[in-house]
């Protein structure tokens, strides 16, 4: 198993040509006694949105965890092109409703990767947090408790936390699950804007509308890659019918 982080050369191919940001080959991963990912090979292009689609248990969250560095592959190769570690935004349900955190404190946690949880944030850190709050349109909610927010507001706070990490690779696990149509549309617009600002976005999703709006789709089934490419080519009625029964 090999994991590599490559710093881009100053004369590298411009991002607009959508060179690979992440590449993995024959990737396998899982948990003790339970393999999940089975020899996956794919590329995630720079400055694109990639949707990971598949039923529960297909390996979407595990693949995100591997890309984020929180799950170690058992075999295969994983290459990251870039100087910064990925920013990982877990499902909303993974963040306890009872935690006594304000929105600002939640977003400030995104700076812990550089500062650690016990060191005082610098002026630059506070400016980064302010920028993330404003970017996600929740600056007016900074003093509110996280548990007081609507689902859409809370999701934006978690994305702001990811954005505050300052990475150019943002990984999201089911960012629109449980949200109303207006909130889902707003999250989709925000993610598109982040890509335009220089961030590569990968999201695991059950939301086929969000998946069809992505640049690329990886369709997973039983830990294997069942399809990859443009959503119009991958998310066909016949392909989805094979994955989900009934469709």
184-228 pLDDT, tens digit each: 888 889 899 999 989 999 999 989 999 999 999 999 999 999 999
Residue 148 located in a structural domain: yes
- pLDDT band for position 233 (50/70/90)? very high
Residue 240 located in a structural domain: no
Higher pLDDT, 64 or 14: 64
Residue 100 located in a structural domain: yes
| Mean of pLDDT values over 56-79 | 94
Residue 184 located in a structural domain: no
User: What pLDDT score does 9 carry?
Assistant: 43
pLDDT of 1 above 80: no
Tell me what percent of the residues of the chain surpass a pLDDT of 70: 87
- Supply the range of the domain harboring residue 107: 93-166
User: What pLDDT score does 11 carry?
Assistant: 40
pTM for this prediction: 0.85
pLDDT of 242 above 50: yes
Domains contained in the chain, number: 1
Cα(69)–Cα(86) distance, rounded to whole angstroms? Answer: 8
Cα(86)–Cα(16) distance, rounded to whole angstroms? Answer: 20
DSSP per-residue letters across 179-198: --HHHHHHHHHHHHHHHHTT
- pLDDT band for position 246 (50/70/90)? very low
Residue 160 located in a structural domain: yes
Query: Considering Cα of 10, then 13, then 14, then 15, what sign does the dihedral take?
Result: negative
User: What pLDDT score does 92 carry?
Assistant: 63
Q: 191 Cβ partners below 8 Å, 6+ apart?
A: 49, 172, 175, 201, 203
Residue 61 located in a structural domain: no
**In the predicted model, what is the mean pLDDT of the chain?**
86
């Amino acid at each position: 198993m090999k994991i590599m982080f490559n710093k881009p050369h100053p004369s590298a191919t411009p991002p607009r040509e959508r060179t690979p940001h992440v590449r993995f080959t024959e990737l396998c991963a899982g948990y003790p006694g339970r393999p999940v990912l089975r020899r996956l090979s794919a590329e995630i292009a720079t400055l694109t949105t990639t949707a990971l689609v598949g039923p529960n248990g297909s390996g979407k969250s595990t693949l995100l965890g591997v890309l984020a560095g929180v799950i170690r592959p058992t075999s295969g190769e994983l290459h990251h092109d870039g100087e910064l570690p990925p920013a990982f935004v877990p499902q909303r349900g993974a963040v306890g409703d009872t935690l006594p955190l304000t929105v600002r404190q939640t977003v400030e946690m995104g700076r812990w990767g550089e500062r650690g949880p016990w060191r005082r944030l610098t002026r630059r850190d506070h400016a980064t947090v302010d920028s993330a709050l404003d970017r996600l349109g929740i600056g007016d909610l900074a003093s509110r408790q996280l548990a007081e927010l609507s689902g859409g507001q809370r999701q934006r706070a978690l994305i702001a936390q990811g954005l505050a990490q300052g990475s150019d690779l943002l990984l999201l696990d089911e960012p629109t699950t449980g949200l109303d149509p207006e909130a889902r549309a707003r999250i989709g617009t925000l993610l598109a804007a982040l890509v335009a600002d220089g961030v590569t976005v990968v999201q695991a999703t059950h939301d086929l509308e969000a998946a069809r709006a992505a640049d690329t789709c990886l369709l997973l089934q039983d830990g294997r890659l069942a399809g990859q490419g443009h959503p119009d080519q991958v998310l066909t009625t016949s392909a989805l019918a094979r994955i989900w029964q009934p469709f």
